[in-house]
Amino acid sequence: MICAPEHKILPVIYQKDKVKSVKKETVVASLANKLTEIVGAAFEACGLPPELGRVAVSDRQDLAQFQCNGAMAAAKQAKKNPREVAQAVIEVLQSRKEFSKIEIAGPGFINLNVTDEYLAAHLASVAGDARLGVDRTAKAETVILDYGGYNIAKPLHVGHLRSTIIGDAINKIMKTAGHKTISDVHFGDWGTQMGIVISELEIMHPEWPYFDEAFAKEYPKESPVTIADLDRIYPEASKACKENEVRLEKAKAATRALQGGHRGYRALWQHFVDVSVADVKKNLATLNVDFDLWDGEASANPSVKPIVDDLKAKKLAFESDGALVMAVAKNDDNKEMPPLILYKSDGAVMYGTTDLATIFDRMQKYKPAKIIYIVDQRQSLHFEQVFRAARISGAAPNDVELLHTGFGTMNGTDGKPFKTRAGGVMKLEDLISMGVEKARARLAEADLAQDMGAAEREDIAHKVAIAAIKFADLQNNRTADYVFDIDRMTSFEGKTGPYLLYQAVRIKSLLRKAAEQGFKPGKTFILQDADKTLALLLTELPDAFDGALRNYTPHLLCDYAYRLATAFSSFYAACHILSEADEALRASRLALCEITQRQLELVLGLLGIGVPERM
């Protein structure tokens, strides 16, 4: 059933990636957040808006640990002197025991330090929390995540990497926040590329039973083509179609027939799907990525006709230049908004139609509060059309959020669309094996690898390669184009995945040695200067998590993990830990190490990066 449309005035419900969600989804427990409550209350006590009492980690660590800039904003509103406003606030704060320093600086910054006792108590609560301070959302929702989008009969290439690993990270982040996520790989399995391959095979093998209209028996169970065949056939056939009008017509006819239910084509198509899915699963296994749903465009096919019939009945769909379309433009549009094509003039459907039908199906089956598409930015107009069509048709009620989280085009180091030396696109498995090969070589140099078995060494090489590849990509937030640099992708030094693994592994090694010597991490903290820098950073995890969750930006977690790793590395270089003679200090430092290790592993896990025991 399809609800009555409201096509006159369409609310802009879809959101651009940049639009920030206003509502706070998690109750975070970072130290800055706790302080925000305290300072916010102080603002309120002074008759000022409490939301101006927001406390953040200071960007001048030489001056203070935390800062609040709200006094200046409050002064502006109230037309008062900012330093006087700040003065009133800090007089209220003087009674609080949490602070060891409260100062007004510059035009009206409120600079704050917390007492060691308060910081230590906070750390103890973080250490005692299995989630390390990351709280669950108060409002769990069902969310469908649409990413991957691999094509049947086309090999996975490096261009698929972004959607896959960003989608996977967002999935893990939302799941950890407590949402019920459903990931759908949404294969491209119903468009012209299928007709291209089918028609090519018909030309090559007209004797096959799939092409025999009179054939009434069961088709062979075994696929007549392998994934390697498909990898080769598609580019050739695609080229032929571009060069030859008649050849293209054959492909289109095959597409239409497939969609229309041609028995032999459907049987052949199922073979393509089976061999392609098997290949995709193999690739995803190396990336350690999985999906809940293995649907595709074709999955929505049964819903297409009822939806289109309904639109026709409501006079929302009409013929235009031989095609059946629906208008999605609005009066206040500031750009041309082409109609959504439901049926091409040749009678075949395109991905807009299947995307619309897919939204309808998803609403019926899962009733999600949100559907998020992690797809190339260049698809933004397409999604805008589809989202509008979903509102108009009633497929998605207005309170369901439809969101396109786009990312940029992959370019080479020359700034032009990425191509291999051979001129093609690099296959994903080739990229991964290059990374693994480099990791293997690096491991062979290391003394540590001597006593490892072959299996462990392979496992480590794989983990290092995956960490390198994923981190190199995920740390970049650009919604615009990005540069694909193979050397950077498989680099192990500096701000890289392997660097993060290295720090985590070093801590694990340290903790193992501590256990051997009977040293245990303490429950209390002794915070000398070198310890304090790391300790303060360890209170920030919920902020990083919350930011990544709200804005669908895993790179905020990359940034946190990297800052944590470098902070630990400095701490490690500056402080004695196992060799520390003072037992209490040693236990405190071991506890810092342990929290760091757990946070690193948690964050890396959210990014889809696994940590080995040694490397």
Partner RNA sequence: GCGCCCGUAGCUCAGCUGGAUAGAGCGUUGGUUUCCGAAGCCAAAGGUCGCAGGUUCGAAUCCUGCCGGGCGCGCCA
Q: Which of 78, 77, 87, 90 is nearest to 107 (CA)?
A: 87
Nearer to RNA, 181 or 300 (CB): 300
Q: Where would I find the beta strands (DSSP E) of 257-395?
A: 317-320, 323-326, 340-343, 370-376
DSSP, residue by residue, 6-26: --SS----SB-TTPPP-S--B
Nearer to RNA, 106 or 302 (CB): 106
d(CA 38, CA 610): 38
Nearer to RNA, 75 or 181 (CB): 75
d(CA 65, CA 5): 55
Please report how close the Cβ of residue 134 comes to RNA at its closest, in angstroms. 16
Nearer to RNA, 46 or 181 (CB): 46
Nearer to RNA, 69 or 199 (CB): 69
Please report how close the Cβ of residue 42 comes to RNA at its closest, in angstroms. 17
Nearer to RNA, 140 or 530 (CB): 530
DSSP state of 137: B
CA distances from 544 to 19, 113, 558 (A): 18, 21, 9
Secondary structure (3-state) at 403: strand
Q: Determine how β-strand 317-320 pairs with β-strand 180-184.
A: unpaired
Please report how close the Cβ of residue 16 comes to RNA at its closest, in angstroms. 6
Please report how close the Cβ of residue 393 comes to RNA at its closest, in angstroms. 16
Nearer to RNA, 8 or 18 (CB): 18
Decide: 613 and 505 in contact? Cβ < 8 Å.
yes
Please report how close the Cβ of residue 469 comes to RNA at its closest, in angstroms. 13
Decide: 200 and 237 in contact? Cβ < 8 Å.
yes
Please report how close the Cβ of residue 261 comes to RNA at its closest, in angstroms. 17
> In this structure, what token pair is assigned to residue 450?
């001597």
Please report how close the Cβ of residue 209 comes to RNA at its closest, in angstroms. 26
Q: Which of 44, 292, 354, 302 is nearest to 147 (CA)?
A: 292
Nearer to RNA, 128 or 415 (CB): 415
d(CA 289, CA 281): 9
> In this structure, what token pair is assigned to residue 564?
């944590």
Please report how close the Cβ of residue 46 comes to RNA at its closest, in angstroms. 16
Please report how close the Cβ of residue 408 comes to RNA at its closest, in angstroms. 6
CA distances from 22 to 141, 167, 429, 543, 547 (A): 16, 22, 40, 15, 12
CA distances from 472 to 106, 140, 156, 505, 594 (A): 39, 31, 19, 19, 26
Nearer to RNA, 181 or 383 (CB): 383
Nearer to RNA, 95 or 334 (CB): 334
CA distances from 59 to 38, 55, 66, 69, 110 (A): 20, 12, 8, 12, 12
Please report how close the Cβ of residue 251 comes to RNA at its closest, in angstroms. 9
